[in-house]
Amino acid sequence: MKNVATLAQAPSSPAVGDERFFLRGAIVMTITIIAGFSLQYAMGRSTFGAPLRVHAHAIVFMGWVAIYLLQNIFVATDRMNLHRRLGWIAVGWMVPMIVMGCIVTVAMLRNGTVPFFFRPLQFLIFDPLTLFAFAGLTIAAVINRKRTEWHRRLHFCGMSLLLGPAFGRLLPMPLLQPWAWEAAFAATMLFPIAGVIADLRRSGRAHPAWFYGIASMIGAFVLIEAITYSPVGTGIYDLVTAGSPGASIDPLAFGTPRSGPVTGR
């Protein structure tokens, strides 16, 4: 009877090697983000003299990176009480992330300081919608917190979406124009794809959570592209930039390269 009970519980227990993969993934994600923003500063493309909203944005988003890394460390070291407590803080942490992300995006549009290798309208759409997709995947992970294999994979896909800005600073974006944003998005997909490969190598099958997560990421991508090149997108752009310098900028035209730090201004 003991063996039967053990077998019955096996599907809901964490797969062997999962903790190691997700911890390593969290570490690589953290290094990628730090490297991207450190390079930005080292190249003189950002400065600590940026407006207060930019610093608030950075603190909130780097806070999430720290939370995600700590959550994976707690799981890998079997400190589940700390993991659960921090998890509820993380749920509330998403609110200022979305608010600050939208504030900085709108400010850049209105000031006409969108990076020149992005179409302004596309920037306006992909920044908030990427955040909403991240929040959706994260909420789905929280709802599935008792289904460990779903929980960690949905979180992983959500976190992958936040890597776009880091890749936007690591990749040679001017050389990737007119597909700079699409290239950054493609780079974020490498992480869940790595998760699928890890599952296949470990057990011979990929967990279905990966397909839901990847489908959500691709769905967000398709929606962003559809809105960008539609009258709806143009209407949103006109509404957001009304009465500002950004209103005089062609929403689908690439800008002219500028010298000096302009990130988030």
Nearest Cα neighbor of 217 from 148, 160, 144 is: 160
What token pair was written down for 164? Answer: 């776009």
Give yes or no for a contact between 164 and 184, defined as CB atoms under 8 angstroms apart.
Answer: yes
Interacting residues of 256 by C-beta distance below 8 A, sequence separation 6+ = 116
Nearest Cα neighbor of 214 from 135, 166, 158 is: 158
Across the range 136-160, mean pLDDT stands at 97
Give the HSE-up count for residue 160: Cα atoms under 13 Å, Cβ half-sphere.
Answer: 27
Residue 225: pLDDT above 50?
Answer: yes
- Position 259 scores a pLDDT of 60
* CA-angle at 97, arms to 193 and 67, nearest 5°: 65
- Position 50 scores a pLDDT of 82
- Position 113 scores a pLDDT of 92
Could you tell me which residue, 106 or 12, shows the higher pLDDT? 106
Residue 8: pLDDT above 90?
Answer: no
Could you tell me which residue, 1 or 164, shows the higher pLDDT? 164
**How far apart are the two ends of the chain, measured CA to CA in Å?**
66
Least confident of 4-18, 214-228, 239-253: 4-18
Q: Is 160 exposed, middle or buried (0-12, 13-18, 19+ CB in 10 A)?
A: buried
pLDDT tens column, 62-119: 999 999 999 999 999 999 999 999 999 999 999 999 999 999 999 999 999 999 999 9
Across the range 162-177, mean pLDDT stands at 95
Residue 260: pLDDT above 90?
Answer: no
Nearest Cα neighbor of 236 from 96, 118, 123 is: 123
Could you tell me which residue, 89 or 4, shows the higher pLDDT? 89
Task: Place 264 in a pLDDT band, splitting at 50, 70 and 90.
Answer: low
What percent of the chain has a predicted confidence (pLDDT) above 90? 84
